[in-house]
Amino acid sequence: MGEKILFVDDEPNVLQSIRRTLRSKFDLDTAEGGEEALGLLNANGTYAVIVSDMRMPGMNGVELLAQAKQQSPDTVRMMLTGNADQQTAVDAVNHGDIFRFLNKPCESEELSGAITSGLRQHQLITAEKDLLENTLQGSIKALTDVLALTNPEVFGRTTRFKHRIRQIAEEMELTDIWQLEDVAMLSLIGSMAVHEDLVKRKLHGESISFDELAEFALHAKVGADLLKAIPRMEDIARSIRYQEKNYDGSGYPRDDIKGADIPLGARLIKVILDFDAFESCGDSEQAALGKLKAQAHFYDPSVLGAFENTFEQDSALIIKPVPISQLADGMLLADDVVTSSEVLLVAKGQETTQSVRRHLQNYQANDQIGDSVNVWCEGA
């Protein structure tokens, strides 16, 4: 008991028999047809196993299980039918990704055994998923923590990038925003392999030579190579590899990839990186945006348009001083926090976390910084 089973059939007598036979062994729900089953999936969350009859009016079993796969991909799907022709089995497997194909009439012991196997399969799927997600998030945290310690200015920029990329993604109504946020946070992880002075000059929008630009662009390859060995990071790694690639195909790496073939994450971060560099060299937001438009052939037009629209969101924000003792997680710093000896502690754009707050509190206690910092807040 504990993991729920959904059994679907259009015959009430069959469902009654199933409930009578299996309710002592499994936590079981039943549905009379596909529409009711999808409603239960939507209302009750993930079922461990769904068993569906094939021939039902309105929506047959193949159609139901195909939709169930989209709605709840971790649910193990089984087909139970009196129609044992080969094409039905082929359609069921191809469209619904069926774990088991059972023929009616099905003895209770056979059905019970199949459901038990389905529950084991679901446990394997969810255990592997949890392991991968924990590995992924742990790896990302470890890498960003290293970046925060070795180069707080670069880390501060990546948290700014994360805020910007989230805004653009929401404006474009994109999905999997968490993946794009990871592209932003890890976009400069390879900069640790590039000379610090060159990284600083490039990110501050200073003029650099052609050879220096090629050297700086190596950070994208280094970052991608570092990430591609981590499970489920392949797409993020590819976006990071192509972040120095222009929409017209120029830039790095030097290959034939251009336009919409450039990974979406790379197209987003390219706009943000260049805008941030223009702003860092002293341009106002509007002036920096104007420079992006002046070289619009470098950028995906849909991304550049969405980015411009996000400025309306920023216009609703104001800068407000907040006492360090009253900082909360998730606040966005509006200015660099620098000690009296001009050491950068936390960069503009970084979100406040427990470790950031403790860091600032320690320096405040030693009178090395003031009692408050400026943060972005929503206007009244």
Q: What is the pLDDT of residue 293?
A: 95
Residues 90, 176, single domain; the answer is no
CB atoms within 10 A of CB 181: 21
In a domain, 133, yes or no: no
CA dist., res. 311 & res. 289, Å (int): 10
Structure tokens of 362? Answer: 């320690």
**Could you please report the per-residue DSSP string of 88-147?**
HHHHHHHHH--SEEEESS--HHHHHHHHHHHHHHHHHHHHHHHHHHHHHHHHHHHHHHHH
263 upstream amide cis, omega within 30 of 0: no
Q: What is the pLDDT of residue 324?
A: 93
In a domain, 280, yes or no: yes
Q: What is the pLDDT of residue 177?
A: 87
Residues 273, 341, single domain; the answer is no
State the total domains in the chain.
3
In a domain, 139, yes or no: no
In a domain, 146, yes or no: no
Residues 162, 249, single domain; the answer is yes
Residues 162, 251, single domain; the answer is yes
Residues 214, 323, single domain; the answer is no
On whether the CB atoms of residues 1 and 42 are closer than 8 A, the answer is no
For the chain, give percent helix, strand, coil, nearest 5: 55, 15, 30
Residues 182, 275, single domain; the answer is yes
On whether the CB atoms of residues 367 and 346 are closer than 8 A, the answer is no
CATH code assigned at 291: 1.10.3210.10
Q: What is the pLDDT of residue 88?
A: 61
Residues 112, 236, single domain; the answer is no
Q: Could you list the mean pLDDT of each consecutive 10-residue stretch along the chain, which spans 380 residues?
A: 84 90 90 92 86 89 88 88 62 67 83 91 80 67 71 77 91 88 89 87 86 91 87 88 96 94 96 91 89 96 94 70 90 86 81 84 92 79
CA dist., res. 178 & res. 169, Å (int): 10
CATH code assigned at 63: 3.40.50.2300
Place of tokens 């923590």: 145
Domain boundary among 299, 314, 329: 314
Amino acid at the residue 300: D
Using alpha carbons, list the distances in angstroms from residue 240 to 145, 161, 280, 320.
18, 13, 21, 34
CA dist., res. 190 & res. 217, Å (int): 10
Give me the helix-helix angle, 285-294 and 264-280, nearest 10°.
130
In a domain, 142, yes or no: no
> pTM to 2 decimals?
0.60
Structure tokens of 335? Answer: 């200015």
CA dist., res. 15 & res. 3, Å (int): 19
Domain boundary among 314, 346, 368: 314
Nearest to 224, CA basis, from 257, 265, 256, 260:
265
Give the domain extent around 240: 151-314
Domain boundary among 97, 128, 159: 128
Nearest to 289, CA basis, from 276, 298, 301, 300:
276
Residues 48, 81, single domain; the answer is yes
Residues 212, 234, single domain; the answer is yes
Residues 221, 353, single domain; the answer is no
Q: What is the pLDDT of residue 99?
A: 85
In a domain, 285, yes or no: yes
Residues 172, 295, single domain; the answer is yes
Q: What is the pLDDT of residue 132?
A: 62
Residues 180, 297, single domain; the answer is yes
Q: If DSSP codes are grouped into helix, strand and coil, which group holds residue 24?
A: coil
User: Which residues contact residue 227 at a Cβ distance below 8 angstroms, ignoring those fewer than 6 apart?
Assistant: 143, 186, 189, 233, 236, 237, 240
Q: What is the pLDDT of residue 327?
A: 92
In a domain, 362, yes or no: yes
CA dist., res. 170 & res. 121, Å (int): 35
Q: What is the pLDDT of residue 300?
A: 97
- What is the largest distance, in Å, between two alpha-carbon atoms of the chain? 82
Q: What is the distance, to the nearest Å, from the Cα of residue 91 to the centroid of all Cα atoms in its chain?
A: 32
In a domain, 145, yes or no: no
